[in-house]
Structure 1
Amino acid sequence: MPLSLFRCRYALLAGLALASITTVTSAKPPPALTTFMQDGGWCWYQDPRAIISNGKLLVGGVSGQTGDVKVSVYDLTAEKDLGTVVLHPNFQVDDHDVPAFYARPDGSVLAVYAKHSNERIHYYRISAPDDYLQWGEEQQFVHDFTGRRGVTYMNLYHLDRPGLLYNFFRDGPTFNPSFITSPDHGKTWGNRTHFISDEVDGTHRPYARYLQRDANTVGITFTDAHPRNYGNSLYYADFRDDAFYRVDGSKIKDLADGPLTTSEAERIFQGSGILTDATVDKSAPLSAWTSSAASDAAGNPHIGYTLYLDDDDHRYRLASWDGTQWHDREIAMGGKCLYPRESSYTGLVTVDPADPRRITISTDVHPTTGKYSGGTHEIYTAQVELDDDITTIKWQALTTDSPDRNIRPIVATGDGYRAVLWLSGPWRTYLDYESDVVGFIEKL
């Protein structure tokens, strides 16, 4: 089927019920916004990019002007900005280098960061337990592989059994999700392991997002490849006790038998499966891309992801497991891509880790109808139940009439607080941005 027919067919089917829906709810006024970090940016394949620990909000970012890797600290009780620390000056102007955080048992915080596939080095520092503006000397874990590609995308998750901290990242030699582990909460690292393997002809890179289902289980949702190269499907699996499982608990295989492949995992959404010419800017039609994932109080995973129809037409979808089956539905219009070369870059959709029914999105069109009114990317939020779809969801605007883009929202929760954060300001490419981290705090 021609690519244009793929796009038109999906757009027609998805849009039939939208003609009479034209409003966004204004039940309450937008919240007052706070700037938590000036001159900061982030990508969305590293987590946690912000955490709450001991009543403090820690926010990571990379300067778009100097390339400094930074952490800003905000006192939630005093409602006061405590300051910003540069973890590594002049690191690299690239929002892929944002640190991931882990709250250690002694009250200190670990920050891990790496360059955008340029080096085989993981950099890390550990804060003082009682002062997040004081950090120990920078340490390095250097891989022994060779080749031009390095590591990127740090993600930190602890599993009580076997008592290890995992850093899930994209490896250099394989271009695939891999991990290293630490037995001492981030002081020392080792055990590089190939975790997920692609099955697309050529060299390709599955994009993975992670969530903590329970103290012993990490959920993984991932794609076949980059959406510029392939019409991605979306997959899911659990990892615990050095083995992979389906969401219902049935075992797939042991990690000792090799990395998980897409054909072994559970497919949630089926993309077009079209392999494209990587020299063109457009993405493959009907190509999914992971955005955010979290588990609810029962441990059920909820996955927010994007779907590419065309450069000017992206859709936000939510896949939720209810303990028996997946509910996968379209929930909002994502609007236009952020710039043509990265035609699947959107404002993104994020799932609240404290309540995955609460969804926050960034879009430059009406979230329900897709109508473009000449504005820029704004932030919206809504409560999305299992039986909701795009025709029933009532979006509340958190920003309006903004002079610059508001993109890439995230939510951090803990200590009875919720921090809703996003990037606001001029943002042109992942190498060229002047955004700040803004948002608001709520008590849970």
Structure 2
Amino acid sequence: MKIAEDGSWCWFQDERALLIDNKVFFTGVTSKGYNTVSEWNLDDNSSKTTIITEGSLPADDHNVGSLMLRPDGKILTVYSGHTYDDSVRYRTTVNPFDISEWTDESSFIANAKVCYSNTYYLEEADLTYNFFRGNGNNPHYMVSKDYGDSWTFGGRLFEFPGRSYLRYASDGKNRVHFITTDGHPRHMNNNIYHGYIENGNAYKSDGTLVGPLSTTENSKFKPSDFTIVFDGDLETREDVGWTSDIQLDENGTPYFVFTVAKDPVSRGERFNVSKGGFDNRYHYAIWDDGKWVENEIAFGGSRLYPDENEYTGLISLNPKDKNILYFSGDVHPVTGDPLLVDGERRYEIFRGERLDEESPWEFTPVTFNSKEDNFRPIVLADENREIVLWLTGRYTTYKDYQLKVYGKVIQKKNG
């Protein structure tokens, strides 16, 4: 069902949606560039949207904010422009579980133009972290001792001449996992790496200490210091990886998905972009018995638009079940054959499920024969159901779009 008339999101911010009791809260950016927070009440399927910014940032889906449920029940949102200025902006609901009224916007001034927000509360440290892209297009972090009412600079995660793309996941206690590329797939051939941060240190996947986390403007770390999961061969322009989503299972073990471009154009190419971007694949990786196991699981199809040839419809994981995921594609996930509606390729949402880690993935359509494209799913879940949100409509570029937000609830089968 349609739950918001005008919205969009990028995928390098989290959490972009929260399931709290019987309500779904999610962030968005309208076609005019207004940041929003919306509520979908699952009891009566009603929805409402609160505008957070109005005219202070341009239309750009990269400006979407993160959401975090604070221990006191209030909801924090953190957002910034797309390398627009040096302000990391934040607001908090005045009352718990109620998005109708927010505190005035405040800003943390960073060390350079910023982008992205990934916000997590760690219970054991009683600290809130926000990971963002800052100086040198490298990842940095800021820290709050009061659930996001005020912030201080934490440090720099990487320092190297690359623009890595990280996805994060936290156990909510003391650990934050991340997956990262070497750079943007337009400019780098891209491996995918995994690591985690705990108690002020950074580690490889197997617990090997990489070193203490930076608490300054500089860092000794680069992506390749961590555990390589997907080897795209940095010297060869094929099999170019890009991070999509990471989650943790009930034991805190990470599993994640990513895309691989099989027909990339030349590195840095901005003109002859129509020569590639038509064969993107979805991969799944899981940490199993002390090693990473990763496999291609589905065809993803073509890019959303030329020049961003690795912009797929995207793949996202069920946070409560590592054997369930959702993705968007304009091809059949098994055969790679184009999905045509009235003679035009169309992006549809698919659900993937397998019985266990030894079983093959089975795919079922969530949308089909659609008149408009459907892409960028976000998955929420609890013990009884899973919820998928996605965008439907026109997506010309990340600055030019007209999209609606749709959602579907799938009840868990008994037995």
Same fold (TM over 0.5): yes
Match of residue 8 from structure 1: none
CA contact (8 A) 2:246 2:257 kept: yes
Counting only pairs closer than 5 Å after superposition, residues 245-394 of structure 1 correspond to structure 2 as 245-256=203-214, 258-274=219-235, 284-310=237-263, 311-374=277-340, 375-384=345-354, 385-388=356-359, 392-394=360-362
CA contact (8 A) 2:205 2:226 kept: no
Q: Does 1:43 align with 2:10?
A: yes
- Normalising by structure 1, we get a TM-score of 0.84
Structure 1 residue 191 displacement after superposition: 2.0
1:402 partner SS: coil
Structure 1 residue 414 displacement after superposition: 4.8
Q: 2:177 aligns with which of 219, 230, 243?
A: 219
| Partner Cα separation in structure 2 for residue 112 and residue 415 of structure 1 | 28
Structure 1 residue 214 displacement after superposition: 5.3
CA contact (8 A) 1:327 1:386 kept: no
Counting only pairs closer than 5 Å after superposition, residues 14-413 of structure 1 correspond to structure 2 as 34-64=1-31, 66-81=32-47, 83-90=48-55, 91-127=57-93, 128-143=95-110, 145=111, 150-171=113-134, 173-198=135-160, 203-213=161-171, 215-256=173-214, 258-274=219-235, 284-310=237-263, 311-374=277-340, 375-384=345-354, 385-388=356-359, 392-413=360-381
CA contact (8 A) 1:51 1:413 kept: no
CA-to-partner distance for each residue in 1:216-264, whole Å, 9 max, x for gaps?
1111100000000010000000110011122222322211493432232
CA contact (8 A) 1:178 1:194 kept: yes
CA-to-partner distance for each residue in 1:266-286, whole Å, 9 max, x for gaps?
0001113148xxxxxxxx421
Match of residue 5 from structure 1: none
Q: Which has the bigger relative contact order, CA under 8 A and spacing at least 6?
A: 1
Structure 1 residue 356 displacement after superposition: 2.0
CA-to-partner distance for each residue in 1:304-334, whole Å, 9 max, x for gaps?
0000111110110000112432220000001
| Partner Cα separation in structure 2 for residue 355 and residue 336 of structure 1 | 28
Instruction: Letter of the 1:156 partner, please give it.
Output: T
- Normalising by structure 2, we get a TM-score of 0.90
| Partner Cα separation in structure 2 for residue 109 and residue 124 of structure 1 | 11
| Partner Cα separation in structure 1 for residue 116 and residue 289 of structure 2 | 30
Structure 1 residue 111 displacement after superposition: 0.7
Q: Relative to 1, partners in 2 of residues 1:291 and 1:179: Cα closer, same or farther, differing over 3 Å?
A: same
Structure 1 residue 53 displacement after superposition: 2.5
1:178 partner SS: strand
Match of residue 268 from structure 2: none
Instruction: Letter of the 2:181 partner, please give it.
Output: T
CA contact (8 A) 2:193 2:224 kept: no
Structure 1 residue 37 displacement after superposition: 1.4
> Structure 1 regions of 5+ residues with no counterpart?
1-33, 276-283
CA-to-partner distance for each residue in 1:104-149, whole Å, 9 max, x for gaps?
1111100111000011001111112152212121111122x35xxx
Match of residue 21 from structure 1: none
Structure 1 residue 372 displacement after superposition: 1.3
1:361 partner SS: strand
CA contact (8 A) 1:71 1:86 kept: yes
Instruction: Letter of the 2:42 partner, please give it.
Output: L
| Partner Cα separation in structure 1 for residue 365 and residue 22 of structure 2 | 28
Q: Relative to 1, partners in 2 of residues 1:394 and 1:55: Cα closer, same or farther, differing over 3 Å?
A: closer
1:263 partner SS: helix
Structure 1 residue 300 displacement after superposition: 1.2
> Percent identity among equivalent residues?
33
Structure 1 residue 441 displacement after superposition: 2.1
Q: Relative to 1, partners in 2 of residues 1:50 and 1:130: Cα closer, same or farther, differing over 3 Å?
A: closer
1:174 partner SS: helix
CA contact (8 A) 1:361 1:381 kept: yes
Instruction: Letter of the 1:421 partner, please give it.
Output: L
CA-to-partner distance for each residue in 1:383-427, whole Å, 9 max, x for gaps?
144235xxx321001010111111111112358553211111111
| Partner Cα separation in structure 2 for residue 256 and residue 205 of structure 1 | 18
Q: Relative to 1, partners in 2 of residues 1:414 and 1:102: Cα closer, same or farther, differing over 3 Å?
A: farther
CA contact (8 A) 2:60 2:398 kept: yes
1:434 partner SS: strand
> Structure 2 regions of 5+ residues with no counterpart?
264-276
| Partner Cα separation in structure 1 for residue 332 and residue 384 of structure 2 | 32
CA contact (8 A) 2:123 2:172 kept: no
Match of residue 9 from structure 1: none
Cα RMSD after superposing both structures: 1.8
| Partner Cα separation in structure 1 for residue 395 and residue 224 of structure 2 | 37
| Partner Cα separation in structure 1 for residue 242 and residue 278 of structure 2 | 16
Instruction: Letter of the 1:189 partner, please give it.
Output: W
CA-to-partner distance for each residue in 1:42-84, whole Å, 9 max, x for gaps?
00001111112353211110011x1110111122233322x11
Q: Does 1:441 align with 2:402?
A: no
